[in-house]
Amino acid sequence: MSDGFDSKALKVDALTKWFGPRCPRCLGGEEELEKNYCPDCGTVYALRDLSLTLYEGEVLGVVGESGSGKSTILNCLYYDMEPSSGSAYLSSFEGGSVDIFSVSAQAKRGIRNTLLGKVYQNPLQGLKMRFSAISNVAEKLIAAGERNVAAMEARAVGLLGHVNIPSFRMREAPEFFSGGMQQRVQIAKALSNNPPILLLDEVTTGLDLSVQAKVLDLVKQIQRELGISMLLVSHDLGVVRMLADRTVVMLDGKVVEEGLTDQILEDPQEPYTQELVHSML
C-alpha cells in the first residue's frame, strides 16, 4: 500500500448480516429491496457483501447515517453478533490464514480476549457498573487467563492512570463516574491485554463537547504511542477527520465510497458522501 501502511491487520470479505425470515422476493437480489429492507417479509439487510481492509498501525474510519450497518461490523467482529455469511482474517491469528468466524467457541473467546479490544457506545455494555474500575480492567485479564492478583492490580492501576483516572477513584464503581470517565475506563479495559486491534463504536456520542475533545485526544495519544490498529465507527465526520487515516462511507449496509480521509472530506465523489460532508459544514 502506498499510504505508509504495508501489512494487513484485518481483512473482511463479503460480510453479510440480515435480520428476518427472508423470502423469495428478497432472495431474488438487491433490486428487489427498498434500500436495505424487504417490503414483503420485513427482512432487514444490515450488511450486504461488505469487504474492507485495516492495515497495521492505521485508523480506519467507518461513517454513515444511523442504520447504515456501521456498528454491525464491530458486533460481528467482536462476536457480539453472528454474521449471516462472509469471512474475516486477523494477521495476529494463524498468520491471517484462518477465517475467525469459522473457528471453535474456545478460539473465539481467545481472539476476543487477547487480540481485540472494544469500546462500546454505551458504557453499560462494556463495563460492570457496580464493580470497581480496577475490577473491570482485571476482568478482561482474567478472561485471558491471568491469575496473579498482584500483577492484575498493577496492570489495572497503570492503565487507569494512563487514561487519566485519578488514583483515589480507581476503587470506585463506574456507576458513580461521569460519561467521559466511564469511556476512559472502557479504553483502559480494552487495552489490558495489548490487543493489536481496537474497535471503537461511537465513543463520543452523548458526551459534552469538552469531554469529547478529551476522549479523542486520549485515543489519538494511545494510537500514536502504541501504534495500534483501530476500526473507528462514527456518524460524526469531525471525529473521523481528527483520527482516521482512511475512511469508508456506508449506506444501507454497503460501502459507497472509500479513500484517504482528507480526500473523502475535501472532494467527495458520491452524492451521498457529498450530502454527509455538506451537512458537517
User: Does pLDDT of 243 surpass 50?
Assistant: yes
What is the tens place of the pLDDT at every residue in 46-90? 999 999 999 999 999 999 998 899 999 999 999 999 999 999 999
How far apart CA 70 and CA 44 sit, in angstroms, is: 14
- Band of residue 14 on the pLDDT scale cut at 50, 70, 90: very high
User: Does pLDDT of 3 surpass 60?
Assistant: no
Q: What's the whole-number average pLDDT of the chain?
A: 94
Q: Supply φ then ψ for residue 119, to 5 degrees.
A: -110, 115
How far apart CA 269 and CA 48 sit, in angstroms, is: 21
Residue 102 DSSP label: S
Q: What's the pLDDT score for residue 90? A: 98
User: What is the arithmetic mean of pLDDT over 135-151?
Assistant: 96
How far apart CA 167 and CA 161 sit, in angstroms, is: 7
User: What is the arithmetic mean of pLDDT over 249-276?
Assistant: 96
Query: Which position has the higher pLDDT, 236 or 154?
Result: 154
How many CA within 13 A on the CB side of residue 221? Answer: 11
User: What is the arithmetic mean of pLDDT over 29-48?
Assistant: 94
Query: Cell triple for residue 9?
Result: 491487520
Cβ within 8 Å of residue 213, ≥6 positions away: none
Q: For the chain, what is the total number of helices (H) and then of strands (E)?
A: 11, 9
Q: Where are the alpha helices (DSSP H) in 94-230?
A: 105-110, 123-126, 133-143, 149-162, 179-190, 209-226
User: Does pLDDT of 4 surpass 70?
Assistant: no
The proportion of the chain whose per-residue pLDDT surpasses 70, expressed as a percent, equals 98
Residue 198 bridge partners (DSSP): 117, 230
Q: Which of 130-134, 223-227, 244-248, 253-257 has the lowest mean pLDDT?
A: 223-227
Domains contained in the chain, CATH given? 8-280 (3.40.50.300)
User: Does pLDDT of 264 surpass 60?
Assistant: yes
User: Does pLDDT of 164 surpass 80?
Assistant: yes
User: Does pLDDT of 9 surpass 80?
Assistant: yes
User: Does pLDDT of 232 surpass 70?
Assistant: yes
Q: Supply φ then ψ for residue 229, to 5 degrees.
A: -80, 140
